[in-house]
Structure 1
Amino acid sequence: MISEHHVEVEATVRGVLRDVLGLSDDRVAAFDAITPLFGALPELDSMAVAGVLTELEDRLGIVIDDDDIDGETLESFGALTRFAVAKADGA
């Protein structure tokens, strides 16, 4: 069962992707755990990654170190959401 906290963080991740990348609400609402992100969304290039991570830090009150990010973190919507949930939980 998905916790309320997970649902809140997932909504925040959706909002960040929408706002930073300029995606439509409908497009972001259609994202599921296996929706590919980096390399699949033209809007999410290497420059946009920094904006997405910074905005996640601001909205979730977390700190993301460079060492926290690897090739899988932004591979899919599910991976990014799991990462954000873990960081928000203090991992």
Structure 2
Amino acid sequence: MSETIPASLDTDLRALLADVLGLAPARAAAFTAQTPLFGALPELDSMAVAGLFTALEDRFGFVLEEDEIDGDLLETYGALLSFVACKRGHG
């Protein structure tokens, strides 16, 4: 995790993923920056992606633009955390 990303943001994102995807909190807590997400987590299917994006916007107070959404965004936990941090002005 980058030093510029607040630990609270990491904690909040893990909690959001656990809540939206129905993951055990311990499972989300075990994610590393390299943990693959889309295509690796059965809970994160194409139907769950829209709900996750809505939850990200609501929880973190930003708007996802269409041109920001691509396969890289959900490739790994680290990629998603970095993206959210950037949107929140921490990157």
Corresponding residue SS for 1:10: helix
Task: Give the corresponding residue for 1:64.
Answer: 64
Identity %: 52
* 1:9 to 2:12 alignment: no
Q: Distance in 1 between matches of 2:52 and 2:62?
A: 13
Deviation at 1:18, TM superposition (A): 0.3
Task: Give the corresponding residue for 2:88.
Answer: 88
**Where do residues 17-36 of structure 1 align in structure 2 (5 Å cutoff)?**
17-36=17-36
When the two chains are superposed, the root-mean-square deviation of aligned CA atoms in Å is: 1.7
Deviation at 1:90, TM superposition (A): 8.1
The count of corresponding residues between Structure 1 and Structure 2 is 90
Q: Distance in 1 between matches of 2:66 and 2:6?
A: 23
Q: Distance in 2 between matches of 1:59 and 1:9?
A: 11
Q: Distance in 1 between matches of 2:90 and 2:81?
A: 14
Consecutive aligned runs of 4 or more in structure 1 exceeding 2 Å deviation: none
**What are the Cα deviations for residues 8-53 of structure 1, in whole angstroms up to 9, with x where unaligned?**
2211211111000000011001001000000000000011011111
TM-score scaled by structure 2?
A: 0.90
